[in-house]
Structure formats: C-alpha cells, structure tokens
Amino acid sequence: MDPRRKARKLDRMLAYMLGRCPSEFGLVPLPDGRVKVRELIKALHEEDGWRHIRTADIEASLRILKTPAVESEAGWIRAVDRTGLAAPIPAIHPPALVYTAIRRRAWPIVRESGLKPGGLPWVVLSSDRDLAVRIGRRSDREPVVLEVATNRARNKGVELLDAGPPLLCTAYVPASCLH
C-alpha cells in the first residue's frame, strides 16, 4: 500500500479515537485532549487490523501528511480538532456497580489504602466488565478485576465523573467500596 494512503488511514483512525470517541477504546484524555502515546498504541493494538502499528508509524504519518488530524509531542498525542470531545462531567445516575482492573502486585496495597490514580489525574472505571478487563490487560496479563459500589462510594464523598459511555472516572475510591 502507498505510504500516503497508509498514513491517511492511520490518521483517520487516530482522529476518531482521540477526537470523537476515546471512551469506546477505554481512553480518557486529559482536559486538553492529550493521551499517552503508549496507552493509545495499546488500545489500537486491541483493534483488528491495527496490531502492527508502532510509535514510528505514527511519527511517519505525521511527517508524510501536510495537515494531520493529530499532533504529538514528548510522548503525548491528541486530536487537532477536539470539538467533538466532551470534558468529563459529574455523573448524575451512575450504574450501581462499575469495574476496574489493576495489576496483581498492586492489589495488596489497594486493598489497604484504596484505589488511587497511577500516572493520570483519575482512576478509570467502566460499567462494562469486559472493557475494564481489556484496559487492565494493558498493564498486566492477568489483572485483578475490582467491583466498585458507586452508591457506597458517593456516600463516602467520592465524585464520579462521566467520561463518555461506558466510562467513569474519579480521583479516589476508598478500600471499603471495593470488592
């Protein structure tokens, strides 16, 4: 396939993932729309036909195209047009039970002190258990799947934000709300 054509195809996919429906891929961009390139590639590899993409392919498409739909800098990437992105807003009627998956070696710490964000400003939760497992497998082959009782969490002062169906995010989940 022609390099320009490959670059345009990748560019369209990245624009969709980052500028329109990041939650569909288990991604929650920062308020300015940025996502870690490493996380984007992991999400991209879960999609049929995209497992071959590496950071170098993204960089090459940015060089080849005159007006790429994404921009990248220092390990972060975002869509140029982010008008379709909604910022996380307070969840009005969250599901009673949501899921997250963590690394196995983190479980003893989480069981004691609760769930805190890793390298991002929030913990990502999903009403879809399969998506939570998929996200968890990005950092551990056999993650521990946790259930979060949202009513109990809200009663303890946890603010849940709607990050696009089926994702929610929060700054912290107390250990007593995890199962």
Per-residue pLDDT of 17-65, as tens digits, reads 999 999 999 999 998 999 999 999 999 999 999 999 999 999 999 999 9
- Per-residue model confidence as pLDDT tens digits over 66-120: 999 999 999 999 999 998 888 889 999 999 999 999 999 999 999 999 999 987 7
Give residue 144's pLDDT. 97
**Could you write out the DSSP letters of every residue in 28-87?**
---TTS-EEHHHHHHHHHTSTT-TT--HHHHHHHHHH-SS-SEEEETTEEEES--TTPPP
- The reported pLDDT for the residue numbered 114 is 96
Q: Given this model, what pLDDT does residue 135 score? A: 96
H/E stretch holding 100 reads strand 97-102
* pLDDT recorded at residue 177: 96
Bin 19: left if φ > 0, else alpha if -120 < ψ < 50, else beta.
alpha
pTM to 2 decimals? 0.89
Q: For residue 89, what are the CA distances in angstroms to 53, 82, 141, 169?
A: 32, 16, 31, 10
Q: What is the mean pLDDT of residues 159-163?
A: 95
Distance from C-alpha of 153 to C-alpha of 60, rounded to nearest angstrom: 45
